């Protein structure tokens, strides 16, 4: 096709991906002046981003009261009793959240072995009850797999490969119901007799009216639907923000409450004391989320977030690189750094051995273990790629471009991304190169700091960013503090939320200060699927003041005119707007 034919095809034949009517794809009134605000005052911009979370505690609280949510908690408890599978599934940011929930579950149960050794067999069995997959397989954790979320057949196939059946619990994190693959996976789980849950984050009536791929899910009476609609995102369409936060809060609360019920039924008083923590009452999770927001939005925590944003912004404005070092919260931080690629058209993680790829602006290193072991600590289960053949893609009705050139996303594609503690010269191949030690609740122990100090010689600057419960002793001469008082619970869900919300905020705020957000539109979006092509089109139409059809044709003109090696030069949205006479950077100034 040429660009005119491609645009005509998208306008006429891809109407299911014209998503302007969906609230989470629209601009949030609370943050409409984000780019101008944060350019003048970083702390005020941070508070504005956090204001988009305002409805999350109420939405979670209301969900907790429903019979559907109570059934969800009961089913998780039953799965523990019967040693059934609890499978988390989604796509994109929510898909990485599915992996996080799985790994957090496994970490908790295996850690109990050290505290209560005589129950090791039982705890290890329960740890294996959890499972997860994201659209495109585990490779999607480090780099987006293009176009896979557009296929219901792909989601169905991954559910089949998981081997779930009657009595198993399938948790579909539906993000916004816009990605076909998650809906396919949920339908397949229902077909296979699973107790299937569908957590969705847009108004049901709008989804059912406009999207065939969502309507078929709501028509299934067996599928239990739980609404988590939290309104528009802080940055229009960026569901890595509020959608995944409410998902982590709600599902994390359900897991902790169900686990605590099982522990109380099966452990004696001394063993319960050895566990060292417990679950909250369901409604208290909503209260604690509000408490977290209040702390992050004021005082020392707000100042720390603003300082962190400015540190990142200055590094990137000077063409520099940042490498985070952490062990305990590596998966949480990795998720954010991966999601920056499609959101802001940044180079993705690069393979350690490939000198041809552009180095990613941010990366993560585990200071405690070599690469293969570090990856074991990320997933806490075998790495799962997709070993599909050309014949498989034909059977699944994939586009000819995928059939002709299937992406490399098998299980061997993860380990070349070296996150272990060996030296990686690419992380200081460009200057300034900064090393950032992440200390969450005192997690930066002696071994972590030894690696950090030993490797500082390669970098231009080092800093310790300390979040949560911050011990009194000093780790490094340069420190940024983001103190947040959170309750210690079984899975430490609130601590994971502090890290998740803070990192999403910092990366978004830094990009906004750099001009990669206009108003609250992500003008540097990388269109890796049809949903993002639509989003790019709507941004162009909104800012340039032209029709959707004209904007779509102008988008494809930029898309077809770009050489592959120029992908990360700037977004197709910005290129198109410039060609139409609009300069986003001047507007920000």
Backbone φ and ψ of 198, nearest 5°? -125, 105
The model's pLDDT over 128-157, given as tens digits with 9 standing for 90+, comes to 999 999 999 999 999 888 889 999 999 999
Q: Looking at residue 132, what is its pLDDT?
A: 98
Q: Looking at residue 239, what is its pLDDT?
A: 86
* Cβ proximity of 115 and 58 under 8 Å: no
* Cβ proximity of 131 and 103 under 8 Å: no
Q: Which residues of 99-118 are buried (b: 16+ CB within 10 A; e: fewer)?
A: bbbbbbbbbbbbebbeebee
Q: Which residues of 400-410 are buried (b: 16+ CB within 10 A; e: fewer)?
A: eebbeebbebb
Q: What is the mean pLDDT of residues 325-350?
A: 92
* Cβ proximity of 99 and 496 under 8 Å: no
Q: Looking at residue 176, what is its pLDDT?
A: 73
Q: Which of 37-41, 228-232, 518-522 has the lowest mean pLDDT?
A: 518-522
What the block records as the tokens of 531 is 């949903």
Q: What is the mean pLDDT of residues 235-258?
A: 95
* Cβ proximity of 155 and 180 under 8 Å: yes
Q: Where are the domains of the chain?
A: 3-27+521-588, 50-299, 305-513
The model's pLDDT over 162-200, given as tens digits with 9 standing for 90+, comes to 999 999 999 999 977 788 999 999 999 999 999 999 999
pLDDT band at 464 (very low <50, low <70, confident <90, very high): very high
Q: What is the mean pLDDT of residues 301-329?
A: 97
Q: Looking at residue 38, what is its pLDDT?
A: 96
Q: Looking at residue 253, what is its pLDDT?
A: 98
Question: In the chain, pLDDT over 70 holds for what percent of residues?
Answer: 99
CATH 3.40.50.10490 fits 50-299, yes or no: yes
Q: What is the mean pLDDT of residues 425-435?
A: 95
* Cβ proximity of 384 and 411 under 8 Å: yes
Evaluate if residue 404 carries a pLDDT over 90: yes
Q: Looking at residue 586, what is its pLDDT?
A: 64
pLDDT band at 587 (very low <50, low <70, confident <90, very high): low
Q: Looking at residue 271, what is its pLDDT?
A: 98
| Domain 50-299 and domain 305-513 have a common topology | yes
Q: Looking at residue 589, what is its pLDDT?
A: 47
What the block records as the tokens of 203 is 């108004």
Q: What is the mean pLDDT of residues 244-253?
A: 97
Q: Which long-range CB contacts under 8 A does 490-493 form with residues at least 24 apart?
A: 490/108, 490/256, 490/259, 490/260, 490/275, 490/277, 490/278, 490/279, 491/104, 491/105, 491/108, 491/252, 491/255, 491/256, 491/259, 492/104, 493/104, 493/248, 493/249, 493/252, 493/253, 493/255, 493/256, 493/285
Q: Which of 18-27, 325-334, 443-452 has the lowest mean pLDDT?
A: 18-27
Helix, coil or strand: residue 119: helix
Helix, coil or strand: residue 55: coil
Vertex 110: Cα angle to 108 and 113 (nearest 5)? 115
The model's pLDDT over 527-543, given as tens digits with 9 standing for 90+, comes to 888 988 999 999 999 98
Q: Which of 91-105, 310-324, 332-346 has the lowest mean pLDDT?
A: 332-346
Q: Looking at residue 78, what is its pLDDT?
A: 98
Nearest to 508 by CA among 53, 105, 3, 15: 53
Q: Looking at residue 563, what is its pLDDT?
A: 83
Average pLDDT of every residue of the chain: 94
DSSP per-residue letters across 56-93 = HHHHHHHHHTSHHHHHHHHHHHHHHHHT--EEEEE-HH
Q: What is the pTM of this model?
A: 0.95
Nearest to 399 by CA among 248, 272, 530: 530
In terms of CATH architecture, what is 305-513?
3-Layer(aba) Sandwich (3.40)
Evaluate if residue 585 carries a pLDDT over 90: no
């Amino acid at each position: 096709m040429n660009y005119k034919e491609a645009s005509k095809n998208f306008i006429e034949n891809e109407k299911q991906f014209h998503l302007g009517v969906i609230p989470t794809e629209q601009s949030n009134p609370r943050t409409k002046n984000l780019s101008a605000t944060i350019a003048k005052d970083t702390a005020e911009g941070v508070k504005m981003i956090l204001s988009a979370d305002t409805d999350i505690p109420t939405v979670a609280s209301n969900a907790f009261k429903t019979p559907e949510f109570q059934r969800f908690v009961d089913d998780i408890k039953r799965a523990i009793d019967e040693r059934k599978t609890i499978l988390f599934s989604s796509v994109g940011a929510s898909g990485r959240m599915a992996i996080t929930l799985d790994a957090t579950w496994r970490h908790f149960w295996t850690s109990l072995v050290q505290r209560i050794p005589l129950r090791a067999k039982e705890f290890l069995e329960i740890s294996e009850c959890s499972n997860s997959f994201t659209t495109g397989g585990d490779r999607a954790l480090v780099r987006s797999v293009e176009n896979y979320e557009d296929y219901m057949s792909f989601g169905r196939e991954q559910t089949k490969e998981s081997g779930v059946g009657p009595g198993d619990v399938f948790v579909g994190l539906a993000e916004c119901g816009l990605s076909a693959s998650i809906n396919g996976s949920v339908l397949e789980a229902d077909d296979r007799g699973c107790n299937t849950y569908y957590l969705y984050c847009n108004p049901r009536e709008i989804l059912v009216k406009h999207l065939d791929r969502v309507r078929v899910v709501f028509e299934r009476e067996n599928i239990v639907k739980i609404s988590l609609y939290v309104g528009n995102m802080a940055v229009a369409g960026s569901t890595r923000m509020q959608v995944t936060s409410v998902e982590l809060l709600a599902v994390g609360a359900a897991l902790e409450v169900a686990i605590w019920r099982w522990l109380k039924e099966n452990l004696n008083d001394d063993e319960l004391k050895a566990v060292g923590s417990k679950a909250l009452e369901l409604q208290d999770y909503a209260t604690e989320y509000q408490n977290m927001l209040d702390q992050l939005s004021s005082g020392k925590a707000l100042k720390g977030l603003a300082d962190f944003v400015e540190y990142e912004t200055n590094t990137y404005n000077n063409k520099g690189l940042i490498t985070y070092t952490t062990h305990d919260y590596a998966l949480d931080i990795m998720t954010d750094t991966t999601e920056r690629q499609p959101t802001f058209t940044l180079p993705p993680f690069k393979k350690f051995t490939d000198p041809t790829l552009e180095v990613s602006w941010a990366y993560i290193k585990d200071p405690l273990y070599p690469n293969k072991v570090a990856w074991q600590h990320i997933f806490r289960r075998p790495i799962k790629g997709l070993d599909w053949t050309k014949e498989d893609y034909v059977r699944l009705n994939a586009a000819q471009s995928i059939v002709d050139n299937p992406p490399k996303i098998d299980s061997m594609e993860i380990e070349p991304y070296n996150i272990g503690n060996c030296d990686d010269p690419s992380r200081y191949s460009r200057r300034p190169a900064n090393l950032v030690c992440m200390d969450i609740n005192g997690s930066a122990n002696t071994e972590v700091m030894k690696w950090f100090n030993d490797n500082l010689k390669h970098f231009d600057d080092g800093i310790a960013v300390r979040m949560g419960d911050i011990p009194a002793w000093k780790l490094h001469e340069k420190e940024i503090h983001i103190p947040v008082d959170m309750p210690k619970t079984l899975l430490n869900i609130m601590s994971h939320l502090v890290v998740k919300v803070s990192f999403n905020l910092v990366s978004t705020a830094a990009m906004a200060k750099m001009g990669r957000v206009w108003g609250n539109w992500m003008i540097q979006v990388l269109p890796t699927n049809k949903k993002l092509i639509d989003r790019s089109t709507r941004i162009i139409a909104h800012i340039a003041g032209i029709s959707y059809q004209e904007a779509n044709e102008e988008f494809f003109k930029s898309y077809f005119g770009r050489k592959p090696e120029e992908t990360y030069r700037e977004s197709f949205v910005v290129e198109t707007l410039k060609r139409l006479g609009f300069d986003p950077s001047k507007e920000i100034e």
